[in-house]
A and B are shown apart, each in its own frame.
Chain A
């Protein structure tokens, strides 16, 4: 009886094979093959049309000395680091405030999550107007020189993009931190207050360590999102002025399709992929280790 049962359990129904194989093949055809094709093109000089030759690692070597590439990486990394820190700091504060004993809690929470629902492109367009007309107007009225010009037209344009990214990004991050805070048992706080821990000390010693899982999620997702920053920039500066706000993703799009650099930007994309994977693994390893230590 037992043996029979065992044998019955090991048999996979053909429907399962058919469904999984069908989806697997489709995924391979439309996701993996394009990915592999991209890797393949990165070793050629294809322009997206016409003839092509193998050029070995020439594209990759060229990447190292290309001004556009260096600028794009420098912008993207500066932008990601600043935005990740700002979004997570503000979200933590907001989450703590939302977790306090406040009135209209659910309504307030819903309002703070609202930006997540709105498309990045349109939010970018709306802030374009604010930066181009509203803030300069206020700056002139108040006589503040720095505010009386459109920040998106200056070499500080990155800060305009950061403001929009923070406005959008805090919604999601706050929600995750808040969920983390709400899962902390209130008994822990009572024990802490008996030990005399309160206020900021309690936050760093008790709350923050217990928030470690939320922190990990937010850091990994933020870093990945901001390294891929695209929509905001297309909506607001289109990479300009000059190339000051050209992120890696924007560069791939603009030069890959419009600049005849299909193969070259494919190499750029491959490098970007490797960086994303490395950062994701690094973060998961380091942050998980920290999580373990703190527990």
Chain B
């Protein structure tokens, strides 16, 4: 028993099986995407082989076809502005709710109000939301960003609330005695201790807005307001015969996420687990 423990060996069979899984299940579709994106339309006989000639022009043409700079700007605007506002407003509101629940019933009611809204799926809300958004002129990039910030509230209240409850209230008291108001207390004392939760919220918000397709589909009809994901869908019919440009365009959309993932994978995985386990 003890001997075994000293000389623990790697389980190579499992390692090799897992690597084969990566190569043939996870990476094969992505490899194929790259191979088609850099290929000449006349060279589609065996898409898994290396192309005869490298055709990087596909990316430039796809860039122009989908009006990439405009869609990228829209998507980046939505993602970044939503991230900043979500982290600033949702966290403070969650703090105000959590810390005052003992003092006033009002905050407990608001807490359950927000959290129970998590049970309303977007497809249930979809039809009337479009009518509502038209009334308030929210069918544009700024409007949809605003909606993302508001709609993130249930999940983020839930996540932040769980974390804030674990922070001793003595910290708040100390700041209060020093003359800090709630905003200062939160910003300078509590918010810095919430870093892991903020990371989780940031990752989930980023993934949601960057990859969301349904909300832009129902709200953003104007081409100048469309997002990257929506543009891929809008060009679906055009792309159905023109695989090279389609796959080049997909890669352009996937690239930012892949780059971020390469640098922050461990951070992202920890954040996602923390978000789900709560």
Which A residues fall within an 8 A CB radius of B? 9-13, 15-17, 19-20, 23-24, 26-27, 30-35, 37-38, 41, 48, 94, 97-98, 100-104, 106, 108-123, 125-127, 129-130, 133-134, 167, 172, 175-176, 179, 213-214, 217, 221, 224, 227-228, 230-231, 234-235, 248-249, 252-253, 256-257, 262, 265-266, 269-270, 272-273, 276-277, 280
Contacts and interface: CB of A to CB of B under 8 A. Distances in A.
Interface of B: 8-12, 14-15, 17-19, 21-22, 25-27, 29-30, 32-33, 36, 47-48, 89-90, 92-93, 96-97, 99-100, 103-104, 106-107, 110, 113-114, 117, 119-132, 136, 138, 146-147, 150-151, 153, 181-183, 207, 210-211, 213-214, 217-218, 229, 232-233, 236, 239, 243, 246-247, 250, 253-254, 257-258, 261, 265-266, 268-269, 272-273, 276-277
Given A121-B229, A276-B119, A19 B22 contact: no
A227 B9 CA distance: 44
Contacts of A15: 96, 181-183
A252 B22 contact: no
Given A20-B93, A103-B10, A228-B121, A126 B272 contact: no
Contacts of A276: 119, 121, 124
B183 to A, nearest CB: 6
A118 B131 CA distance: 30
Contact of A13 (B90, B182, B232, B233): B182
A276 B47 CA distance: 42
Nearest to B48: A134
Contacts of A130: 29, 32
Given A117-B261, A253-B218, A266 B127 contact: yes
A177 to B, nearest CB: 10
A30 B150 contact: yes
A111 B33 contact: no
A129 B273 contact: no
A120 B19 contact: no
Contact of A120 (B47, B100, B211): B211
Contacts of A12: 100, 103-104, 107
B257 A103 contact: no
Contacts of B120: 31, 35, 273
A103 B26 contact: no
24 contacts: A19-B96, A30-B136, A30-B146, A31-B150, A37-B131, A38-B128, A97-B14, A100-B14, A101-B8, A101-B11, A102-B18, A108-B22, A117-B257, A118-B254, A125-B250, A129-B32, A176-B273, A235-B233, A235-B236, A265-B127, A270-B124, A272-B124, A276-B119, A276-B121
The prevalent SS among residues of B at the interface is: helix
Given A97-B18, A110-B269, A249-B123, A37 B117 contact: no
A25 B182 CA distance: 20
A176 B136 CA distance: 40
Nearest to A217: B276
Contacts of B17: 97
Contacts, number: 245
A16 B213 contact: no
Given A12-B100, A16-B182, A118-B257, 13 more contacts: A9-B103, A20-B97, A108-B15, A108-B22, A110-B261, A126-B33, A129-B32, A228-B121, A234-B233, A269-B124, A269-B125, A273-B120, A276-B124
Contacts of A30: 129, 132, 136, 138, 146-147, 150-151
B14 A134 contact: no
B122 A121 contact: no
Nearest to B261: A117
B210 A119 contact: yes
A269 B123 contact: yes
Contacts of A129: 32, 36, 243, 247
A121 B232 contact: yes
B57 to A, nearest CB: 20
Contacts of B26: 111-112, 114-115
Contacts of A32: 117
Question: Which residue, A122, A235, A257, has most C-beta atoms of chain B within 10 A?
Answer: A122
Nearest to A256: B127
Given A32-B117, A111-B26, A257-B218, A119 B126 contact: no
A276 B124 CA distance: 10
A113 B17 CA distance: 16
Contacts of B213: 119-121, 231, 234
Q: Which of B99, B119, B124, B269 has the most CB of A within 10 A?
A: B124
A10 B17 CA distance: 60
Contacts of B261: 110, 114, 117
Nearest to A121: B213
A12 to B, nearest CB: 5
A193 B30 CA distance: 42
A10 B19 CA distance: 59
Contacts of A110: 261, 265-266, 269
Given A108-B19, A126-B33, A16 B100 contact: yes
B253 A119 contact: yes
A252 to B, nearest CB: 5
B36 A101 contact: no
